[in-house]
Structure 1
């Protein structure tokens, strides 16, 4: 049985590999199917699909939509960020109008937030400019500018030791330069994916930061009630114990399962195809989409 990778990124969002080059990498390591799931963008799908046909592997057009996880109010009454809620859309139509509107909305949200965060940094005495952030992103060939690019500039100018350190000092929730971004509500994301003919899959549930199994179960039930189709059980951040937990939740709520590396190229120490997702996972998703 061959393997597939149903979660990866290109320069159409925050990856470092152009979409037209990903299929050759996938074919080289023996993958038989590949999904391109760029953040809030379908811009790379056509190029990736054409290249997949050229190397003889199945292509899954996708997207990864950022949604609002909601706040977490702890017992001390303080609001803290719950975590990250990303919803994958697999087998979506490239040219769907609703996904296009979402991409535009998310791009506008980033375009207003990023310069504002740089302004906050400047107020804190950090001598960087937004031009430097844009120049870095342009050199890397990425079409979407985000906090990681700001973090890299902070590292380059010795304001932080690493990207992680930059987030901790300045950019993460609760840090002095953090600014909230506009997110879709989960129902909006799921509905848009379904409008585009796709399957809605909650990505890397570990990033929801819900160590309490009952809290996570409640969250998955809530998403299932909204029309969620599946859970990404295999991911580079998931331990074997977490994979087993998420497989159990999928069975409990009669959800499909998916898996992928979350490959970003040189930006993350994660290799394409590293999760060794069996082809049968792709086939079940494909058949569910057709039914």
Structure 2
């Protein structure tokens, strides 16, 4: 049974949950703790690093995409986030970039297909929003997966890249603002070994994650041992299903301890 699901998205980025619906979703899954980790922004309805919503502990977090020196793009998870000038500035820059990029992708899709998607380029916009609009359009043949495969995926004709902070910049900003900073889903990257090498400069790594296929977790376990990392885990939920992956109550204890230390400092 999952006690803590520490990777959840809301409508502040590309998820389906809201702060109001998180408690019911958590109770339905038997989850006691939820970390809201929206892409490149803090959920605006959460006003503290840790709060309680209808009996469910909710951690304010963030998932920040950065670019390593190798050129590989990876995601950092920050837990127990506080607003700081540096984080606020980076979030504002990233949201401007997301809006500009969203407009560019929508324009490219509309020019290529000759249809109007009716997508508003808003804060938090990502390719999933555009893919859903493509899939829902009656005059387009692509479903959600097809939208990525044929139009807006990496190297596809309507793709536009984002301008990302460096790994060093992202780590520095999150270190100042968060109780814990970890690497998300390390085995999803094209070069997992290179991604895991970055954990020598982090506090944690996502050990439990729904990869959807059999994977060898030993490289992650080895990084945890070698760098004395906290093991985190979560569903990476973009829908309303929580508890697909996460931590037991015992495994959650180091995260709870780190959050308490940050609150006392």
Structure 1-normalised TM-score?
0.79
| CA RMSD of superposed structures (Å) | 2.6
Over residues 50-108 of structure 1, what are the superposed CA-to-partner deviations in whole Å (9 max), with x where a residue is unaligned?
9x524333332211101125666xxxxxxxxx5x5110001221x22222112111110
Output the CA distance in 1 between the equivalents of 2:29 and 2:2. 10
Distance in 2 of aligned mates of 1:65 and 1:113: 16
- Residues 128 and 153 in structure 1, CA contact (< 8 A), matched pair in contact too: no
Q: 1:18 to 1:195 in 2, by over 3 A?
A: same
**1:239 Cα deviation after fit:** 4.7
For residues 220 and 165 of structure 1, do their structure 2 counterparts lie closer, same or farther at Cα, with a shift above 3 Å needed?
Answer: same
CA contact (8 A) 2:196 2:220 kept: no
Contact 1:235 1:259 in 2 (8 A): yes
Residue 6 of structure 1 contacts residue 35 of structure 1 at CA under 8 Å; is this kept in 2? yes
Instruction: Give the structure 2 partner of residue 144 of structure 1.
Output: 124
| 1:17 matched to 2:17 | yes
Distance 2:172 2:70 in 1: 22
1:282 pairs with 2:252: yes
Q: Aligned residue for 1:63?
A: 62
Is residue 237 from structure 1 mapped to residue 203 from structure 2 by the alignment? no
* Cα distance per residue 1:220-254 (max 9 Å; x no partner): 22x235x2111101111165643343222221222
Gaps of 5+ in 1: 73-81, 211-215
| Secondary structure of the corresponding residue to residue 31 of structure 1 | coil
In structure 2, the partner of 1:258 is 232
Distance 1:202 1:45 in 2: 25
Partner of 1:42, secondary structure, is coil
- Mapping of residues 1-291 of structure 1, within 5 Å: 3-44=3-44, 46=46, 53-69=52-68, 82=72, 84-93=73-82, 95-129=83-117, 132-134=118-120, 144-157=124-137, 158-210=139-191, 216-221=192-197, 223-225=198-200, 227-237=201-211, 239=213, 241-265=215-239, 271-289=241-259, 290=261
Q: TM-score, normalised by structure 2?
A: 0.86
Looking at structure 2, the residues matched to 224 and 22 of structure 1 have their Cα atoms a distance apart, in angstroms, of 30
Q: Following the alignment from structure 2 to structure 1, what is the Cα–Cα distance between the partners of residues 114 and 132?
A: 14
Alpha-carbon offset, residue 257 of structure 1 = 0.9
Corresponding pairs, count: 260
Task: For 2:226 and 2:56, locate their aligned partners in 1 and report how far apart those are by CA, in whole Å.
Answer: 32
C-alpha distance in 1 between matches for 2:235 and 2:114: 35
Unaligned runs of 5+ in 2: none
Q: Deviations over 1:197-238 (max 9, x none)?
A: 32111111122122xxxxx334322x235x211110111116
> Is residue 12–residue 38 contact of structure 1 (8 Å, CA) maintained in 2?
yes
Residue matched to 1:78: none
Whether the 8 Å contact between 2:74 and 2:195 is mirrored in structure 1 is: no
Secondary structure, counterpart of 1:242 in structure 2? coil
Q: Provide the C-alpha distance between the structure 2 equivalents of 1:43 and 1:179, rounded to a whole number of angstroms.
A: 25
The answer on whether the counterparts of 1:4 and 1:282 sit within 8 Å (CA) in structure 2 is yes
